[in-house]
Every structure is written in structure tokens, then in C-alpha cells.
Amino acid sequence: MSGTLVLVRHGQSEWNLKNLFTGWRDPGLTEQGHAEAKSAGEKLKARGLKFDIAFTSALSRAQTTCQHILDALGQSDLETIRNAALNERDYGDLNGLNKDDARAKWGEEQVHIWRRSYDTPPPGGESLKDTGARVWPYYMHDMQPHVLSGGTVLVAAHGNSLRALIMALEGISGPDIVKLELGTGVPIVYKLNADSTVASKDVLA
């Protein structure tokens, strides 16, 4: 039996707009971010999708995105599980800093390594590998069973938690997954086979 897994990065946040490291901080969506999330819902509605359950992080930008999508589908009251396992990567000492200011303090090369290496964390924070270490078990135990039983599952989360999930789904290497860019509010629709492999992938840009 094949199930459907839909991944959506939250709409633009206030700190995305200001070029700040956000991590586990909790700014809301911008006006554009709200519009992106609503648009994601309309794109999924146009595909005739209905969800059986939704998962999101403990951060409001992802939760609001999730709610906009469900509202657009007429599923405002759908069971929605919120868990910090799906939170954005924790940037540690970089949280709240302007990315240009961080480059001025630590140097462009060092900040680039922290942002784009797979397993080098910033001071006091998580690498993408560390993020995966909490995302993967949560997916395996809490989300995947719904998909493999034929369900349609929505996940509204963050750039790095979704990168970790996509890495596992598609078998992408550490050096390659950090290059993957995920647009805000862009749904990615996966059909999974019964053995959990990907049958198809559709990006609704």
C-alpha cells in the first residue's frame, strides 16, 4: 500500500527577512510568509489532497504555516502533533545574530563552514548531522507508520529539519544534502512504496 508524505518549509519569517540566524528562536511570519503558507494550501487543494494527520515543530512559524494549509483545505480541526524533534537546527551562539555581523566576527570562511558543513556545529549549537539525530528516530517511530499504512501526512517544519528528513528519504549524502535549497512555503509531495522507498516526488513550486 502506498502512502503520501507532504513536506513544507514554513513561510518567510520576520528573521528570514532581517537575515538573522533564527534556530530555536520564535519569530512569527511576515505578511509574505502568511501569503506563502496560504498559497501552499491552495496548491495542495488543487491537487485534491486531504490529510489524515499533520506534524509540525514546537515553533510558531511552522505551526502557523501548518494551520494556514489546513484552513485552505477545510481541515482546520485535523489532529496536529507538535514536537521539538522537528525544530530548526539550533544555531547556538549564532541565534539572533545578523549573518553579515557573524561573518565580521568569525570570518566568512568559518561562518560558511558552520552553515554549510554537514557535521561541524556552531558554538553551542547543532550540526545538520545532530539535527538528523533527533529527526530520523521521530520520523521512523511517529510519522512513517501513518504513511506506510496508506495515510496522507503533512509535515510543516524548517529548512534543516526537512533537509535531514529528505536526506533519509532519498538517500542523499551529507556533503550533498547541505547544498539542497528549500523554498519557503513550497510543498514537496512524496508517494512512498510499502517498503518506505520513494515512488515519486513532486515539487509544487
Q: Which residues are annotated as a binding site for substrate?
A: 9-16, 22-23, 61, 88-91, 99, 115-116, 159-160
Q: Is 36 a residue of the active site? A: no
Look up 108 and say whether it is catalytic.
no
CA separation for the pair 36, 50 (Å, rounded): 19
Structure-block grid coordinates of residue 9: 518549509
The active-site residue, picked from 31, 68, 79, 88, is 88
Between helix 31-46 and helix 60-72 the angle, nearest 10°, is 40
- What residues contact 158, with CB distance under 8 A and at least 6 apart? 9, 10, 57, 59, 62, 86, 87, 88, 89
Q: Which three cell numbers stand for residue 38?
A: 496560504
Query: What are 191's strand-pairing partners?
Result: 4, 200
List residues with catalytic annotation.
10, 88
